[in-house]
Structure 1
Amino acid sequence: MLKNLDPLLNADVLHALRAMGHGDEVVICDANFPADSVARATVLGKLLRLDGADSARAVRAVLSVLPLDTFVDAPAMRMEVVGDPHAIPVVQREAQAEVNAAEGRDVPFASIERHAFYARAKQAYCVIATGETRGYGCFVFTKGVILAPDAPKDAGK
């Protein structure tokens, strides 16, 4: 155990999140997502796991150390429900609450059609699979920056 770190975050996940740079993306996915095959195409090239966690718990852990990008319109994205792209299942509402809590502000999810989500996930830095058994517990987050207090506001661009 380490102080001030969510105990869900294992060494592999922490290493990947730290290695990511501004604008890199991390995918958090449910147990139904083709995580292993998609993860092989990512920058990291291997799947990371948080098997004991549901999607909201994994989002809380990851966003406890990962700042979201404030220079893009949609730093948080969700997979659309097939046939009903405007539906927001409970699993996504729970994750939305974790995003807003982590950021201290509303950061609404943008939606991505299922196959476009798969394609985007392959371009991500890494994929983190959870133990989430509900469908549509799949999200993409864009890493932001943490600026020194005296840094210019556009220093991360």
Structure 2
Amino acid sequence: MKKSALINAELSYLVATLGHTDEVTVCDAGLPIPDASQRIDLALIPGVPTFIQTVKALLGEMQIEGVVMAEEFKQVSPEHHDELLTLIRAEEQQSGKTIQLTYVSHEAFKVRTQNSKAVIRTGECTPYANVIFQAGVVF
């Protein structure tokens, strides 16, 4: 049995197969998911699991070097945005590496998700609670 915290088989496999600069999207319950992307649907009911819970689980296993968010996220849902930034800063501290933050329009964000290796859908119902993580390297 797997010893680390992430026990979801699809998420664990995804992280294990990421290469440098591969992108993964974590999204709220309403973001459209491109047909060509792998869809990992964790949503059970509205709010379960939350966006932040899912990000924490993913960051426990995944090394990131870049983050893409919609500009609207920080304006419309500042509490969730700030909580995400806190997690990213903690990841920087833990890894000793700078993580590049990029903001784009929500429309551009939706287009960018087409490049994601996978899109992880949560039960989050907070507007614009979406993020794209760019995989880094551990060395």
Report which of the two has the higher share of strand: 2
- From 49, 52, 57, the equivalent of 1:56 is 52
Distance 1:103 1:30, change over 3 A: same
Please tell me whether Structure 1 or Structure 2 has the larger radius of gyration of its CA atoms: 1
Question: Unaligned regions of 5+ residues in structure 1, if any?
Answer: 70-74, 148-157
> 1:103 deviation in Å?
2.8
Distance 1:86 1:129, change over 3 A: closer
**How many pairs align?**
131
SS of 1:146's equivalent in the other structure is: coil
| Structure 1 segment 24-43 matched on structure 2, within 5 A | 24-35=22-33, 38=34, 40-42=35-37
Identity of aligned residues (%): 27
The corresponding residue for 1:2 is 2
2:94 corresponds to 1:99: no
> 1:108 deviation in Å?
6.3
- Structure 1 Cα separation of the partners of residues 40 and 12 of structure 2: 10
Bigger relative contact order (CA 8 A; separation at least 6): 2
2:3 corresponds to 1:16: no
Superposed CA RMSD in Å reads 2.1
Q: TM-score, normalised by structure 2?
A: 0.83
The corresponding residue for 2:107 is 115
Cα distance per residue 1:76-133 (max 9 Å; x no partner): 111121xxx8626211111111122223167463211111111110111110011111
1:59–1:99 contact (8 Å) kept in structure 2 = no
- Structure 2 Cα separation of the partners of residues 50 and 100 of structure 1: 25
The corresponding residue for 2:135 is 143
Q: TM-score, normalised by structure 1?
A: 0.74
- Structure 2 Cα separation of the partners of residues 25 and 50 of structure 1: 18
2:73 corresponds to 1:79: no
Which runs of 4 or more aligned residues in structure 1 lie more than 6 Å from their structure 2 counterparts after TM superposition? none
Report which of the two has the higher share of helix: 2
